[in-house]
Amino acid sequence: MAQLAQIVGALLILAAYVLAQFGVLDQRSYWYLWLNLVGAGALTVLAWHERQWGFLLLEGVWTAVTAWSLYGRLTARENV
């Protein structure tokens, strides 16, 4: 089950990346940020559970940066 969750998390991150590279998603779009947040968040939890410290560092920072970007996007005043 953990392997399936890892694959799903990785696929979410990769989907966001591929779609951004092909110009389908903007890197500041809600879709891009949510795909990254959910994927990286899942991988962070799994890395912690498996005690994979290097992977935990990578995915934890990825999750934190994405969460910060999403928070900034959600709280920004547009057209002010």
CB atoms inside a 10 Å sphere around CB 47: 20
Average pLDDT along the chain? 94
* Boundaries of every domain in the chain: 2-75
The pLDDT value given to residue 46: 96
| Model pLDDT, residue 2 | 83
Rounded to whole angstroms, how far apart are CA atoms 45 and 23?
30
User: What are 31-69's pLDDT values in tens digits?
Assistant: 999 999 999 999 999 999 999 999 999 999 999 999 999
Does residue 11 carry a pLDDT above 60?
yes
Q: What is the pTM of this model?
A: 0.89
The answer on pLDDT for 79 being more than 60 is no
